[in-house]
Amino acid sequence: MMNLQDFLNANPVENLTEEVAISPRFKDEQGNPLKFMIKAMTPAEFEEIRKKATQIKKGKNIEFDSQKFNLSIAINNTINPDFKNADSIKKLGVATPEDYIQRVLLAGELSTLVQKINELSGFDVGMNELVDEVKN
């Protein structure tokens, strides 16, 4: 019988991925949903993104840039499409992955993508979902 230690050893979080549909707007020619391949954030990756989005201003005021935070999560944890793809960035005439993602996703789509990545990373899992997960 597998114990918790065995489970953890068999399931490291670095390679945890999932295909998710984030909007009815993304369809192929047959009307099938085009899915995004996302990966979970490790605690270290989450901390790095959080730090980059946090600035200490004058008088020790801490300012958290939630847009920068969400863009970083989406860009760094979406495998496909690749928001860092240089050809795509160039094709749309923008300079950075941040500019690119804001040209190709609606605000709600970006929000949904970030939410799905957060869920895969273990955030925002409601107790009911957790109970159902444990039952299965």
pLDDT in tens, 91-110: 999 999 999 999 999 999 99
**CATH of residue 85:** 3.30.2220.30
Question: What gap in Å lies between CA 46 and CA 55, rounded to an integer?
Answer: 16
| 122 in Cβ contact with 113 (< 8 Å) | no
- Asked if residue 57 has pLDDT above 90, the reply is no
What residue numbers bound the domain in which 45 lies?
A: 4-130
- 86 within some domain: yes
pLDDT in tens, 70-91: 999 999 999 999 999 999 999 9
What per-residue confidence (pLDDT) applies to 135? 47
Q: Which pTM value belongs to this model?
A: 0.83
35 within some domain: yes
Whether 136 maps to a domain, the answer reads: no
Q: State the average pLDDT for the chain.
A: 90
Number of domains composing the chain: 1
Each residue's pLDDT tens digit, 122-136: 986 554 554 555 544
Give the Cα separation of 120 and 1 in Å (integer): 26
